[in-house]
């Protein structure tokens, strides 16, 4: 069974959704039969590599709301993340473009480290205040998860895996995916949003059963 997950490194609900999916997978009786594939999705493809404005200010500008309301929204999001054991620090977030970070996840997938790379990037962005649009930062984070420094530098300084990122995004459009996270199971079943782990577990069990296997209760 293949589960493809479209998400963005700079998407808070995607990080929450990652934790909820991990909990669902840990409870799934046939977890060993599941292949998880991370797919790229950019919430803001036109974002600059780095951005000087705060996340609160950019959120307020995006939705045309007062800064206080944007800050309150982020506080609520922080509370949701805390329920999943995540420590969101929006006061530290350095907003920026995530295209190169997605390319790094594709590089990591070649050696079975895509999940570790995705996790490291999200923690760096939401908790540690790292600029994931900065290439030297990406090199350091890639090395931390065990990637070869020369290989990482080659990727971030060139255009390797750019077509893979764009292919993921085009495939998302072909599926009608307009928001993330989105979980696609064997290209037949889709779960949109950071649904509770019980919902994700139910989807895994249903897909497994309808694929012709014998479910275990």
User: Per-residue pLDDT tens for 78-129?
Assistant: 999 999 999 999 999 999 999 999 999 999 999 999 999 999 999 999 999 9
Q: How far apart are CA 148 and CA 181, in angstroms?
A: 29
Predicted confidence band at 52 (pLDDT cuts at 50, 70, 90)?
A: confident
Predicted local distance difference test score (pLDDT) of residue 213: 53
Is residue 215 a part of any domain in this protein? no
Residue 197 · residue 28 · CB < 8 Å: no
- For the chain, how many structural domains are there in total? 1
CATH number assigned to the domain comprising residue 17: 3.40.30.10
For residue 216, is it within any domain? no
Is 63 among the domain residues? yes
Chain centroid to CA 86: 14
The Cα–Cα gap between 111 and 18 comes to 20
Query: What pLDDT digit, counting tens, does each position of 129-173 carry?
Result: 999 999 999 999 999 999 999 999 999 999 999 999 999 999 999
3-state secondary structure 135-165: HHHHHHHHHHCCCCHHHHHHHHHCCCCHHHH
- Which residue range(s) make up the domain with 189? 2-210
65 belongs to a structural domain: yes
């Amino acid at each position: 069974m293949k589960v493809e997950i479209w998400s963005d490194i700079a998407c808070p609900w995607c990080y929450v959704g990652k934790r909820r999916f991990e909990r669902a997978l840990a409870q799934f009786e046939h977890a060993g039969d599941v292949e998880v594939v991370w797919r790229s999705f950019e919430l803001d493809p036109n974002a600059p590599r780095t951005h000087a404005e705060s996340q609160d200010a950019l959120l307020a500008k995006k939705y045309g709301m007062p800064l206080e309301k944007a800050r309150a929204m982020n506080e609520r999001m922080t509370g949701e993340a805390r329920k999943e054991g995540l420590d969101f620090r929006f006061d530290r977030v350095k907003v920026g473009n995530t295209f190169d970070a997605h390319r790094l996840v594709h590089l990591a997938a070649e050696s079975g480290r895509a999940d570790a790379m995705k996790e490291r990037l999200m923690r760096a962005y939401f908790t540690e205040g790292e600029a994931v649009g900065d290439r030297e930062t990406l090199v350091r984070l890639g090395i931390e998860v065990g990637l070869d420094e020369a290989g990482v530098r080659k990727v971030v300084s060139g255009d390797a895996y750019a077509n893979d990122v764009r292919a993921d995004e085009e495939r998302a459009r072909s599926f009608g995916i307009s928001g993330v996270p989105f979980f696609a199971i064997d290209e037949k079943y889709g779960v949109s949003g950071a649904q509770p782990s019980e919902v994700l577990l139910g989807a895994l069990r249903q897909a497994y059963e309808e694929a012709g296997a014998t479910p275990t209760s």
